[in-house]
Amino acid sequence: MGGDFLLDPEVAYLNHGSFGACARLVFEEYQRLQLELERGPTDFFTRQVARWFWGAPEQPGRLFEARAALARFVGARADDLVFVPNATSGLNAVIRSLRLEPGDEVVTTRHEYGAITKTWEFVGANLVMCEPDEIVASIGPRTRAISGSHITSPTALLLPVAELCAAAREAGALSIVDGAHAPGQVPLDLEALGADVYAGNCHKWLGAPKGAGFLWARPEHQAWIEPLVVSWGYREDADFGERHGWAGTRDPAAYLAVPKAIEVHASFQPDCQRALADESERRLGELGFPRVPGEPAPFMRAVELPAGDPVELWKRLYAEFRVEVPVYEWEGRQLLRVSIGPYNDEDDVDRLMAALERCL
Ligand SMILES: Cc1ncc(COP(=O)(O)O)c(C=O)c1O
């Protein structure tokens, strides 16, 4: 489908959903930023990147500019959004800051990303697990929060988050949205969506370098969300951006490359990605592997395979056929998830089909 990426041409890479992949232009910008940093680490950190920490709050610096560009892309005010390394970190900050009272319930789905469910378990949350279409009916008087994915990881479904957030609001519960797969795959307007808190990744479908995610919160929730790492921004009068904006010395190049990723993303062809995802789903269906029911994500589809050993099949597809696609167990079923990145074409899908016909 095009685009200049750095992926191994020998591999039919059908797993953009797990870790994304950077276009060459974005990766070059990322490396250019790293080299710039190494030429003058002190200048880069103190005068260029985070000036507002180092005595010049009137000159917000390049990190602030990158944040503003991302805020525009996701339909948010820059003040309500902070960079975090990934969606897991953003959601950890939220979940670990929320002081649950005994008896509080958190409504979530069986389709969530495992690390986030683990984080709720870590804080001892009383989880009400349901199917996405049961969320609204599962909200009750004890519901403190609903926690759901905009696009689910194991099943690749697009959930009606605006509707779910509205239902939570009406019931006086918080809505916490895991948007790891959304930026770059579906258009976002966070101001309009109605969530209380939203965490997303730029390194998946937006194509930023690994380690670029964000946490967004409505102004009324920003005070209680503690940063995972307490550092210099943790001051009495600090705002959301300051408290979360500096987590000790770390490489900010992935964050700073986000504006380039947004620019390059504009050259992708979402209609082609969607059409190829539809085509993959159709062909997998013809082989007897039906898609998990529900509204599908635009560029990702999960289908059910006959019972078998998913790890074995996953290994075989890569080792024998050079097809990179995740196969895994979910709720007692064997699923395979195809992701169509901006670089995939029909040949990749042909290779997957041929490999599956041989293996199954
Ligand atoms: C729905 C969902 N949430 C969270 C994550 C975690 O993303 P990260 O590892 O970048 O934090 C993923 C990763 O695939 C995901 O699919």
Classify residue 6: in a domain, yes or no: no
Pocket probe for ligand 1: among 19, 181, 185, the residue whose CB has the most ligand atoms within 8 Å is: 181
Q: Are 169 and 191 in contact (CB under 8 A)?
A: no
On whether both 296 and 185 belong to a single domain, the answer is no
DSSP 8-state assignment for residue 279? H
Q: Are 313 and 327 in contact (CB under 8 A)?
A: yes
Question: What are residue 193's phi and psi, to 5 degrees?
Answer: -65, -35
Q: Which of 248, 264, 280 is where one domain is finished?
A: 264
Classify residue 342: in a domain, yes or no: yes
Classify residue 29: in a domain, yes or no: no
Residue 224, pLDDT score: 98
Classify residue 28: in a domain, yes or no: no
Long-range contacts of 112-117 (CB under 8 A, 24+ apart): 112/147, 112/148, 112/149, 112/152, 112/153, 112/178, 113/87, 113/149, 113/153, 113/154, 113/178, 113/180, 115/88, 116/88, 116/91, 116/147, 116/178
In the predicted model, residues of the chain with pLDDT beneath 70 are 1-3, 51-60
* Tens digits of residue pLDDT in 187-205: 999 999 999 999 999 999 9
Classify residue 328: in a domain, yes or no: yes
Count of domains observed in the chain: 2
On whether both 246 and 278 belong to a single domain, the answer is no
Pocket (CB within 6 angstroms of ligand 1) = 18, 86-88, 113, 115-116, 149, 153, 178, 180-181, 201, 213
Classify residue 171: in a domain, yes or no: yes
On whether both 212 and 331 belong to a single domain, the answer is no
DSSP 8-state assignment for residue 46? I
Q: Which of 245, 264, 283 is where one domain is finished?
A: 264
Q: Residue 4: helix, strand or coil by DSSP?
A: coil
On whether both 199 and 341 belong to a single domain, the answer is no
Residue 3, pLDDT score: 67
Classify residue 34: in a domain, yes or no: no
**C-alpha 166 chain-centroid distance:** 22
How far apart CA 171 and CA 174 sit, in angstroms, is 9
Classify residue 77: in a domain, yes or no: yes
CATH number (domain holding residue 227)? 3.40.640.10
Residue 64, pLDDT score: 87
How far apart CA 281 and CA 293 sit, in angstroms, is 12
On whether both 234 and 299 belong to a single domain, the answer is no
Two tokens at 12? 């039919």
Q: Are 282 and 143 in contact (CB under 8 A)?
A: no
* Tens digits of residue pLDDT in 207-245: 999 999 999 999 999 999 999 999 988 988 899 998 998
Calculate how far, in angstroms, residue 87's C-alpha sits from the geometric centre of ligand 1. Answer: 6
On whether both 86 and 178 belong to a single domain, the answer is yes
CATH number (domain holding residue 287)? 3.90.1150.10
On whether both 199 and 280 belong to a single domain, the answer is no
Residue 46, pLDDT score: 85
On whether both 55 and 92 belong to a single domain, the answer is yes
Residue 197, pLDDT score: 98
How far apart CA 326 and CA 186 sit, in angstroms, is 22
Residue 58, pLDDT score: 52
Residue 56, pLDDT score: 56
Pocket probe for ligand 1: among 84, 113, 157, 204, the residue whose CB has the most ligand atoms within 8 Å is: 113
On whether both 68 and 207 belong to a single domain, the answer is yes
Calculate how far, in angstroms, residue 334's C-alpha sits from the geometric centre of ligand 1. Answer: 20
Q: Which of 264, 288, 305 is where one domain is finished?
A: 264
Q: Are 105 and 146 in contact (CB under 8 A)?
A: no
Pocket probe for ligand 1: among 18, 110, 178, the residue whose CB has the most ligand atoms within 8 Å is: 178
The boundaries of the domain holding residue 335 are: 12-22+269-359
On whether both 339 and 239 belong to a single domain, the answer is no
On whether both 237 and 326 belong to a single domain, the answer is no
On whether both 282 and 310 belong to a single domain, the answer is yes
**Structure pTM?**
0.97
Nearest CA to ligand 1 atom 5: 180
* Tens digits of residue pLDDT in 100-115: 999 999 999 999 999 9
